[in-house]
Amino acid sequence: MKLLKAIVRPNKVDEVKDALTRIGIAGMTVTEVRGHGKQKGHTAIYRGKEYNVSLLPKMQIEVVVNDSITDEAIKAIIQSARTGEIGDGRVFVLPVGETYKIRTGEKDSV
Partner 1 sequence: MPLSFSIQLDEARRELKDDILRGHGGRAALARFSDRLDTIVRQLFAAAPQPPQPVAVVAIGGYGRRQLFLHSDIDLLVLFGGHLGSAEEDALRAILHPLWDLGLVVGHQVREIEEFGKLEVDNPEFLMALVDARLVAGDRGLYDRFESAFHHAGTHAHVVGALNALIDERYALFNATLYQLEPDVKESPGALRDLTATRWIGALTDPSLLRRGVEEPSKIEEAEDFLLRVRSILHLEGKRNQNQLTHQLQEKAADILGYPGAFPQQRVERLMSDYFRHARVVTRSLAWMRKTAPTPAGLNLGRTNDGIRFIDMRQAAVQPATWLAAFQAAIDNNCPVSDPALSLIRQYAERFRVEDFFPTPTHRAGLLHFLKPAAGLYARLSEMHDCGLLGRMFPPFQAITYRVVRDFFHKYTVDEHTLLTIRNLERLTTHAPPDRQRFSSLLRDLQQPELLVLSLLLHDVGKWRDDDHHVESVRMAREMFRRIGLTQEERDTVEFLIANHLAMSQVAFRRDTEDPEIVKKFAELFGVEERLKMLCLMTLADVEAVSTETLTPWRAELLWRLYVDTYNQLTMGYGDERIEANQPGHAELLANRPSDLSESDISNFLEGFPRRYLRLFDSEAIYRHVRLARDIHPDEVHLWMERKGEAWELTVVTLDKPFLFSNISGVLSSFGMDILRGHAMTSPNGLVLDVFVFTDSERFLELNASAKEQMFTVLNEVVSGKERVTDRLRGREHSLFNRRPMRVTPVVHADNTSSKRYTIIDIIADDELGLLYRISRVMSQNGCDVDLVLITTEGRRAIDVFHITKGGRKLSAAEQAELSAHLQRMLEGGYEAT
DSSP state of 14: H
Using CB under 8 A, pick the residue from 26, 27, 43, 46 that binds partner 1: 46
Q: Does 40 bind partner 1 (CB under 8 A)?
A: no
H-assigned helices in 1-110: 13-22, 67-81
For partner 1, the closer CB: 65 or 89: 89
From the number of C-beta atoms within 10 Å of its C-beta (0-12, 13-18, 19+), residue 22 rates as exposed
* Contact pattern from residue 14 through residue 33 relative to partner 1, giving x for each residue in contact according to CB under 8 A and a dash for the rest: x-----------------xx
Using CB under 8 A, pick the residue from 18, 23, 40, 53 that binds partner 1: 53
* CA atoms within 13 A of residue 104's CA, in its CB half-sphere: 6
Q: Does 79 bind partner 1 (CB under 8 A)?
A: no
Taking alpha carbons only, the member of 44, 54, 55, 59 closest to residue 11 is 59
Q: Name the segment binding partner 1 (CB under 8 A); options: 19-27, 61-69, 81-89, 92-100.
A: 81-89
CB of 60 to partner 1, least distance (A): 11
Rounded to whole angstroms, the Cα distance separating 13 from 89 reads: 12
Residues found near partner 1 in the complex (CB under 8 A): 9-12, 14, 32-34, 44-50, 53, 57, 83, 85, 87
